[in-house]
Amino acid sequence: MKSKLFRSLEWYHWVVVVLSLALTLSAWHITRTQAYEKSEALFKFQSGQVIDLLVERMAKYEEALRAGVAMLKVMPPEMSRAEWKEFAATLNVEERFPGINGIGVIHFVPSSKKAAFLAWQRSSMPNFVIFPAHDKNEFWPISYIEPIQTNFKAVGLDMAHEQNRYNAATKARDERSAQITGPINLVQDDQQTPGFLFYVPWYTDEIPSTYGDESSNLAGLVYAPFIVNKLMGGALSNVNDLINFTIRDQNTLLFEDVGRDTDEYQPMFAETREVGMYGRIWTFELETSRAFAEQVETVEPTVILVTGIVIDILLITLFLTLSQTKQRATQLAQKATRRLNERRTELELAKAELIKQNEELIEANKELDRFAFVASHDLKAPLRGIAQLSEWIEDETQGTLSEDAEKYLKLLKSRILRLERLLNALLQYSRVDKKGQPFESIDFPDFVSELFSLNAHPQGFELQLQENVQEVTTDKEALGRVLGNVMNNAVKHHHRDSGVITVTSRWLNGALEIQIADDGPGIPVKYQGRVFELFHTLKPRDEVEGSGLGLAIVKKIIEKMGGSYRLETNLSGGLTFVIVWPISEKSEVYSGEGAL
């Protein structure tokens, strides 16, 4: 039975259904792809922000260390422990440089100066020793470190005793540049979590007898110890939780985000980046978090797909109804004809009436054929048919439906109207890329006035033409669609029943600059970039009816023509839409004011 029912449909019915389904799938695929690309761009931005913040913070730490180098250069060679403490207090390391564990001085001590160096240090700290012992003939002890309360265990520690510390120190000396060590555990860190040291070499022309190398003028290093977890807490304290990441130095784990998803969650995006960090290569493993997926999740592709499928089902239902009506009409005509043939001699009067009925039925059948062809021409006609059916249902059931049923019926009618507007807007949007119209000369003030009048705005709105160019040669249709959409948008979203739309224009560097100002509520600066996105409106469509494509069409046309646009907030309220429109030639300027 169902098979026979579907076979009753004509081929052009199926063409319409297939095209409608193809359009739905295309729109679904496009929106889903756009959502994916937007999410990927957000991930790239957030990942880059994590790395950039860390690199920027490391640069600030380097500035603090170089400030220490500058301090040592202007002070006497044997700067005291108290003077370094005073410098660190002035620098206010803990407040201005969160994440740093301290700031100190490492003196370079050749073996020949070790005794003199120890005597000098013990004059201010009697128990000062260089530790631990090693077999090298040079020493790199930590002499000063502030705040000393949390770093006391490190005083006297020799960098030459451990390879990572020593390699970075000699590299900073040889390359005369800032360096960090490989992963180490700080002696002052009771938790023994991964850390590193940050060195900046210090040179001076006045090498004393207690430390330094006369041949290279190396005096030592200004350094800062870091516990990586503390560093990340200071450097990335303001970063949101959209990105989970780990940091490795070669194969050693430096940091793992404590907020990292540990269950079976599969991240939407993940990447690995290698970043040069003062002589070391840090590997960042970045991935999206569950919060990221929740933020970028969108139902728009699903809504488009479901809506399109519903429309296809309604189309098939409509076509089946039309086909069945046609079949019943044909059968009735055939039955009437047989009765006329059988009773021709007896029912001449009835024959005439039957012939008339038959002709009427044939005409009705032709009308049904024409209606079916028109209905299958595109999606607009079926939508109008569905709208008519909803009105018939409303008439037939008036006073008999429940309150909820009447609400659902009104909702159906509003959604049909919205979909028709959306199809019209999408058609306009898709036609923008087609070849434009030949340029023609227009009288600009008259052209703007005609556009405003044709759109039949409420009586409370008026158009004011201030200083404008007179004659313009351009693509009239494209310019008209841009100006019409902008003026319509200004009126539609006005917060009062009356207002003034002001249009001015001038020549600017070989192009036509058009300013369309209104006295409406304006658009907050943070939303001004979003109003040009597809299907985006600042108010719910139940408050202001619109497709969300008007300004997207404006943007696409302007960009296709090679022009530009921007939004400016008026000091007295309202918004000014500034368009720079490429033009073929200039003519005289129309000076004067007018209103419509």
Find the CATH number of the domain harbouring 565: 3.30.565.10
Res 430 pLDDT > 70: no
Q: Is residue 254 part of a domain?
A: yes
Q: Is residue 283 part of a domain?
A: yes
Q: CB count, 10 Å around CB of 439?
A: 14
Q: Which of 88-97, 135-144, 395-404, 509-518 has the highest mean pLDDT?
A: 135-144
Residues 94 and 167 in one domain: yes
Q: Is residue 581 part of a domain?
A: yes
pLDDT value at position 2? 56
- At residue 592 the predicted structure's pLDDT band, cuts being 50, 70 and 90, is very low
CA separation for the pair 514, 492 (Å, rounded): 20
Q: Residue 567: exposed, middle, or buried by beta-carbon count in 10 A (0-12, 13-18, 19+)?
A: middle
pLDDT value at position 173? 95
pLDDT value at position 593? 39
Residues 447 and 586 in one domain: yes
Res 6 pLDDT > 80: no
Q: Is residue 53 part of a domain?
A: no
Q: Which stretch of 15-19, 230-234, 420-424, 465-469 has the lowest confidence by average pLDDT?
A: 420-424
pLDDT value at position 340? 79
Q: Is residue 21 part of a domain?
A: no
- At residue 589 the predicted structure's pLDDT band, cuts being 50, 70 and 90, is very low
Res 401 pLDDT > 80: no
Question: Is the separation of the CB atoms in 128 and 122 below 8 Å?
Answer: yes
Q: 559 is written with which tokens?
A: 């960009």
pLDDT value at position 231? 84
- The CA-atom distances, in angstroms, between 176 and each of 179, 201, 281, 382, 595 are 9, 6, 19, 78, 73
- Nearest in space to 561 (alpha carbons), one of 553, 569, 573: 553
pLDDT value at position 316? 82
Residues 112 and 249 in one domain: no
Question: Is the separation of the CB atoms in 361 and 333 below 8 Å?
Answer: yes
Which residue would you say has higher pLDDT here, 540 or 455?
A: 455
Non-local CB neighbours of 382 within 8 Å, separated by 6+ positions: 16, 311, 314, 315, 318, 375
Q: Residue range 559-572: average pLDDT?
A: 84
pLDDT value at position 370? 44
The pLDDT tens digits for 13-41 are 788 888 888 988 898 889 888 888 899 99
Res 580 pLDDT > 80: yes
- At residue 303 the predicted structure's pLDDT band, cuts being 50, 70 and 90, is confident
Residues 340 and 423 in one domain: yes
Q: Is residue 195 part of a domain?
A: yes
Sheet harboring 270-277: ordered strands across? 252-256, 243-249, 280-288, 270-277
Q: 361 is written with which tokens?
A: 């039925």
Strands 461-465 and 499-508, by their bridges, are parallel
Q: Residue range 98-117: average pLDDT?
A: 93
- Domain carrying residue 317: 2-14+298-431
The pLDDT tens digits for 45-76 are 989 999 998 999 999 999 999 999 999 999 99
Residues 212 and 144 in one domain: yes
Residues 401 and 455 in one domain: no
**Dihedral, CA of residue 164, residue 170, residue 176 and residue 180, to nearest 10:** 10
Non-local CB neighbours of 282 within 8 Å, separated by 6+ positions: 247, 248, 249, 254, 274, 275, 276
Q: H/E element holding 590?
A: strand 589-590
Residues 182 and 112 in one domain: yes
Residues 254 and 371 in one domain: no
Residues 152 and 178 in one domain: yes
Q: Residue range 496-522: average pLDDT?
A: 87
Non-local CB neighbours of 191 within 8 Å, separated by 6+ positions: 227
Transcribe 61-91 into DSSP letters.
HHHHHHHHHHHHHHS-TT--HHHHHHHHHHH
Which residue would you say has higher pLDDT here, 416 or 89?
A: 89
**Rounded to the nearest 5°, which phi and psi values hold at 539?**
-120, 155
The pLDDT tens digits for 173-202 are 999 999 999 999 998 888 888 999 999 999
pLDDT value at position 548? 61
pLDDT value at position 170? 96
Q: Which residues of 7-41 are buried (b: 16+ CB within 10 A; e: fewer)?
A: eebbeebeebbeebeebbeebbeebbeebeeebee
Q: Which stretch of 175-179, 532-536, 545-549 has the lowest confidence by average pLDDT?
A: 545-549
- Nearest in space to 110 (alpha carbons), one of 141, 134, 133, 139: 139
Boundary-marking domain end, from 212, 234, 256: 234
Q: Which of 133-137, 398-402, 536-540 has the highest mean pLDDT?
A: 133-137
CA separation for the pair 494, 544 (Å, rounded): 10
On the question of a cis peptide bond just before residue 540, with omega within 30 degrees of 0, the verdict is no
% pLDDT > 70, the chain: 79
As for how many domains the chain has, the answer is 4
pLDDT value at position 594? 36
Res 369 pLDDT > 50: no
- At residue 405 the predicted structure's pLDDT band, cuts being 50, 70 and 90, is confident
Q: Please identify which residue in the block is written with the tokens 């052009």.
A: 12
- At residue 371 the predicted structure's pLDDT band, cuts being 50, 70 and 90, is very low
Residues 145 and 185 in one domain: yes
Question: Is the separation of the CB atoms in 474 and 482 below 8 Å?
Answer: no
Res 502 pLDDT > 60: yes
Q: Is residue 20 part of a domain?
A: no
Strands (E), 529-573: 564-569
- At residue 596 the predicted structure's pLDDT band, cuts being 50, 70 and 90, is very low
Question: Cα(first)–Cα(last) distance of the chain, in Å?
Answer: 64
**pTM of the full structure:** 0.51
Residues 418 and 496 in one domain: no
- At residue 522 the predicted structure's pLDDT band, cuts being 50, 70 and 90, is confident
pLDDT value at position 45? 92
Residues 553 and 448 in one domain: yes
Phi/psi region, residue 240 (left: phi>0; alpha: psi -120 to 50; beta: rest), is beta
Question: Is the separation of the CB atoms in 360 and 329 below 8 Å?
Answer: no
Boundary-marking domain end, from 258, 291, 324: 291
The pLDDT tens digits for 345-360 are 776 776 777 787 777 7
Q: Which stretch of 168-172, 370-374, 455-459, 492-496 has the lowest confidence by average pLDDT?
A: 370-374
- Nearest in space to 114 (alpha carbons), one of 139, 132, 131: 139
pLDDT value at position 527? 66
Q: Residue range 413-441: average pLDDT?
A: 62
CA separation for the pair 446, 341 (Å, rounded): 70
Strands 195-203 and 218-227, by their bridges, are antiparallel
Q: Is residue 317 part of a domain?
A: yes
- The single-letter DSSP state of residue 38 is H
